[in-house]
Structure 1
Amino acid sequence: MEIQLGDVGHIIQLAIAPVFLLTGVGTNLVVLTNRLSRIIDRSRVLEERIRPGDATDPADSAEINVLYQRGHLINVAITLSTACALLVCLVIATLFMGDAFELNIGKFIAVLFVLGMLSLIGSYFFFMREIFIATKTLTMRRLLLRVR
């Protein structure tokens, strides 16, 4: 079995769209990990303030609970984005393997791609939920500052 140059060129053309998708998913992962990093940094500051036996501000305790919730949502979003990236990589590899070995695996490739898209949709859903919580918390802090 010999792979012709034209066949490889055609496979590369088919793989370009998933590669661009992979670039977008990578950028999404950078955004998500940066948000997680900021959440972790803020929670460390609050954990230093909250010492056992010391009088603590109830707002600090409430904020740390919200940060833990946001961190969990971002973690799920990162997991789903990573799953999407892995599935897209499998799509690309399967494209090449299917053509190289003349396998009829179009449906399998389609399933992998759809699973990747569902993972990406889920990632964006959890990311959006985390943003809503962050914005709601910001609004609540603003209202608390007006009251004080």
Structure 2
Amino acid sequence: MKEVYLEQIIPILQLAIGPVIVISGVGLLLLSMTNRLGRVIDRSRNLVEDENKYLSNRHHVQEQLAIMMARAHKLRAAIACVSLCLFLDVILIITLFICALFHINGTVAIILLFIGSMISLTIGLLYFMLDINTSLSALTIEITADN
């Protein structure tokens, strides 16, 4: 391997800035998703306790628990897709450096990694939006149960 000088690495670092920014933004999104999942789990545990206390509302509690389970599955899928996006972005950065350092033409690999990353992010966001929509169903049941 030839000697690598700072002047050669600077353009590679500039290329890697884009995926690093994506990692930062997607990381915040992942934090939001994991917080939502934690709230779903906590709420489900509270509902199970309520189910045992209030037998008259058992039907409403069962409905809400079913919705909470559906939300947990959607959030798990969203978290998996967004985590895959992060993984592909990290591999993309590594590929950029390897291709630049060893003078390898990795255009196809770089394009595929980027497209895969964006597709997994898009699917994760779709699951996230489905969870938000599903959470409104649980709220509707809770409001109508109080009336």
TM-score by length of 1: 0.91
Alignment of 1:1-148 (within 5 A): 1-51=2-52, 55=55, 57-145=58-146, 148=147
**Contact kept in structure 1, 2:68 and 2:138, CA below 8 Å:** no
Q: Quote the sequence identity (%).
A: 33
How many residues end up aligned between the 2 structures? 144
**1:130 alignment partner AA:** D
Q: Structure 1, residues 67-96: CA drift from partner, whole Å, max 9, x if none?
A: 000000000000001000000000001100
Give the whole-Å Cα distance in 1 for the aligned partners of 2:38 and 2:125.
Answer: 18
Which ranges of structure 2 fall in alignment gaps of 5 or more residues? Answer: none
TM-score by length of 2: 0.92
Q: Structure 1, residues 8-66: CA drift from partner, whole Å, max 9, x if none?
A: 00000000011000001100110000000000001011122334xx9362100110000
Give the whole-Å Cα distance in 2 for the aligned partners of 1:99 and 1:22.
Answer: 21
**1:81 alignment partner AA:** V
SS class of match (1:50) = helix
Give the whole-Å Cα distance in 2 for the aligned partners of 1:80 and 1:111.
Answer: 16
Give the whole-Å Cα distance in 2 for the aligned partners of 1:141 and 1:128.
Answer: 21
Query: Would you identify which runs of 4 or more consecutive aligned residues in structure 1 move more than 2 Å?
Result: 48-51, 139-145
Root mean square deviation of aligned Cα: 1.5
